[in-house]
Chains A and B, each alone.
Chain A
């Protein structure tokens, strides 16, 4: 599992500091949040004022004047205050809630851009569900806290503090009794924070893992169906979901302890204050009026005090979400653009030259490539042959810098690929993956993705169309014309499902459409039948003149594409040469192609 399951990044960092980092996104909303908070405070003060006004009105005009106008006027005053309160309620909404959605979106798009920037190696480690949960659920929680929890926390805390001040000011002794209750509450609050923080984080992680399970159960649906393992998958899922349920109940348990304390302790101090107060009043050390005022104020504080537990929990939930957000945001892309990028020199006349110089690559502490030296001659096609798992695919992905070498260098026309911007490099190097990934877009758009934008901008529609047609033709993807809407048929996840062979051919067309300087093909014809493979090979040979090509090959029919073959063995290139020569001189090469040699012997018979 990705680092998700590991301990939270900064357990030592205080919650305040962790949440303060959100200011980067919240800044534009700060003035409005402050204004909205003020409105909220004003609204609650106003709500408190209305009863006072009522009392004044009743005691004044109603009892003394007895005039109709006075009654109407006072009703109007109450109406005015009421309308004002409603207006303030509306202000709070308009000022905070709406900009909050903007902050959430901004964080979401920034996270997405960061994920796009992070290299493939990062995505290898992190499951999609975890990332998704961070981008959706966690940010949702953060937003709700920001627009509701934070403001409410400030309002409640202010009310409690002001109230406590009033209590002490009016009746110091009783006030101190009430305040004494704060000591255990604060102490409990501290331990609550410790307990809750852990479970809140666990709940978020489990939710992410649950999302991952859902994702896998859908992506792997064919396997689950083919083996009839739906019920097992369900059991696993339910076990996980039940784990999440348990954690959520643990959260509730922690929160209930806090709720208990916040409901019980202040009320108990009031019970003590009642006994003490009445006793003091009996000996006239406190006036009855002061006693009434004390309890009236304490009653007003009741609800804010009670809400503190929930608000604290909300804050800690938001903290867990924030931590998870920053765990991704703080990951610096391991593959990044150089500070002072070198401009890629124009392609030499004969084609580009790619040089792998002492290339090493380690994955998870395990060295896959240990010093590969290989030159891809300009305009030539080199086949890469080696056993399954020998690192061919890895080597191939080093050229467009989908991964970075851990030692040595890859050079394109003499420039280290790490000195180029990824954009420039990847415009020059085109890839066809073995596992073809197409996107939810029309066939035409999928193919045109292979064409650098600048190049596409210079073309009119007819030229672009010609390019698409040619690429599809070379890839022998004529079937696309028979699709329901021809080239405009939407394929990919949200469109029509294509077979493996069909997808491979569209992906191949995409790779060659841009006439790249360098083309890397990962066993691009594996899903094609012999006849089609021969046709595609023919077309590619024609089209690839001038394009430096590296192709991973598993059999001689693919090797036939190449001018030269390189053998990858134990992390090194142990032989380079023509197919026939290698077959004669290189035992490992012969071994890799043994089966076919046998078949050929059969065929020759």
Chain B
């Protein structure tokens, strides 16, 4: 979390083993132009489904603008035509004009209101679509990705980056339609009025393009920096709040706050710089506009003196030129939020471009009834590009057998479990269930057939009952209760203030670690899989708790395949078969009794355990 002040400058935490070709946000090492193209493609794909609505919004905006513009014209009409007519005793024209004005006012009001609603529909529709895509994709990505990318960064994508897009969408369509249209109209009017003055306007395009180009490059750099900075702030925030106990217990508040100060300062600086760049852009646009107006006046004025231009036309030309540049500030604002959104979309599209390393099969094989026959055929595996953890594993677990894996930390026990649950895919060889390679097995069938319970019993916010129901969402309350009874956690849940409906506090802290493990056991019970993988799933249980689970397990494991990793021999001794793993290889294989009798490593462990029991 923080490097202590007087420690030698430990390298400021880059990810330990950055996979080659990834930057810290997991972006592929692509050419910046390609990154931008990908981000625009994402924007395009988000807008395509709402294209109809976008056009409708634009039309409504134009209508509303026209209705508002009609006002002055009607005033002129009222004075020019209505007044003389009224003096002649005819109130008709005036009433007609006033009535038209009233209608125009109503139309303007209705269309303005419609604009607000339509724009919100477009914007919110796009955001929902994006949120859904990102969520689905992160759920599909493999554990390897999650361990590299960190939760904070995913949260940052889903909150801050989505917000950046929202700022563009909320005002974007309206601004573009209204301002763009106004500029086009004015430009056309000016050219029709006096094309030479129009030419002066054209000259202004050159510095305009230059300053826009400058802004594009600079703001893009700043917004990219800002996106990275905000992700760092969020990552740190999430990590600190998740580990607040340790922060306080080890008095890290000051250091943590200092690190956070630096990160927020970097974010602030990036923002301030982006704002500054935008300010220069804004000012530049205003300046170009005003200089052009002066130029139109100068050129036109000189032409008036030469008799080449009527004064009235000059006045009109100058006013048009001025009006032409008025909406430019808004377009500049739009472009600014566009730049900010593109930077966010770059990050989002990079996340969406991540390929799951454990992909769903293209032609999934269904498995209607799983018996639970597990095979590892010449499996070789290592994490990422790292060294081999399992050099070559051949293993057959017949359906219904309970196998315990024993060995030191790092021997590869958990790796075997993770491969079986298909958290990872082997580099070579295959893991098969009932003869089907897990890579070809229908994901739904795989998850129904193989369930893994790990040491960390994560509880989601919601009721205890809902947390158990995670094992089988369509379970009835009676079934949930039965599962809880089976693992012996029912009495405890029943004693909670609202029983199964009791809310689990944030990160489930109100339940003890042991209770959480019991709940996650109930989950597995409810899921009722053909193959159950328990990775240190009983470590936090006390002895009565463990015994309850053991009893439950005995019922559950009948007729099921189980792979159990436990360091407690009390659990291991109940297995049908024990595998002693070392360096990713099986070094001993047999029933607990056989292995004890054989006098190998397991026998030594067993002896040690016996001794620890007898010692008081």
Contacts and interface: CB of A to CB of B under 8 A. Distances in A.
Contact of A226 (B163, B451, B473): B451
Contact of B95 (A51, A140, A275, A560): A275
A515 B315 CA distance: 86
Contacts of B612: 530, 533-534, 556-557, 560
A299 interface: yes
A251 interface: yes
Interface in A364-390: 364-366, 387-389
B173 interface: no
A484 B14 CA distance: 14
B316 to A, nearest CB: 10
B237 A437 contact: no
Nearest to B329: A89
Given A71-B305, A426-B248, A450-B250, 18 more contacts: A62-B311, A93-B275, A94-B276, A112-B240, A124-B510, A211-B155, A222-B143, A223-B458, A228-B446, A282-B83, A430-B250, A433-B246, A434-B540, A479-B409, A491-B16, A499-B414, A529-B406, A554-B542
Contacts of B586: none
29 contacts: A54-B318, A82-B294, A89-B329, A105-B265, A108-B264, A124-B509, A211-B158, A214-B135, A215-B155, A216-B461, A218-B138, A221-B146, A227-B523, A228-B448, A234-B136, A241-B135, A256-B112, A264-B108, A272-B102, A274-B74, A275-B78, A281-B83, A288-B83, A366-B497, A449-B246, A510-B250, A527-B536, A555-B543, A599-B570
A403 B99 CA distance: 73
Q: Report the 9 A-B pairs with minimum CB-CB distance, sorted nearest first.
A: A228-B447, A82-B290, A264-B109, A93-B279, A252-B120, A439-B1, A267-B105, A529-B567, A388-B514
Contact of A98 (B99, B276, B295): B276
B433 interface: no
B45 interface: no
A81 B290 contact: yes
A496 B3 contact: no
A40 B249 CA distance: 51
Interface residues of A, number: 206
Nearest to A530: B609
A502 interface: yes
A278 B275 contact: no
Interface stretch (A18-26, A128-136, A319-327, A348-356): A128-136
Interface string B42-70: 00000000000000000000001000100
Contacts, number: 583
Contacts of A600: 613-614
B3 to A, nearest CB: 5
A185 B423 CA distance: 61
Nearest to B123: A248
B5 A494 contact: no
Contact of B247 (A83, A116, A292, A430): A116
By secondary structure, the B interface counts as helix
A491 B447 CA distance: 30
Contact of B135 (A87, A108, A234, A265): A234
Contacts of A530: 567-569, 605, 608-609, 612
B476 interface: no
B286 interface: yes
Interface in A105-150: 105, 108-109, 112-113, 115-117, 119-120, 123-129, 131-133, 135-137, 140
A101 B515 CA distance: 46
By secondary structure, the A interface counts as helix
B132 A241 contact: yes
B556 to A, nearest CB: 15
A297 B567 CA distance: 85
Contacts of A2: 506
Nearest to B568: A530
B298 A388 contact: no
A488 B260 CA distance: 22
Interface stretch (A7-15, A151-159, A161-169, A588-596): A588-596
Given A256-B117, A278-B83, A600-B614, A131 B241 contact: yes
Given A93-B283, A456-B6, A479 B159 contact: no
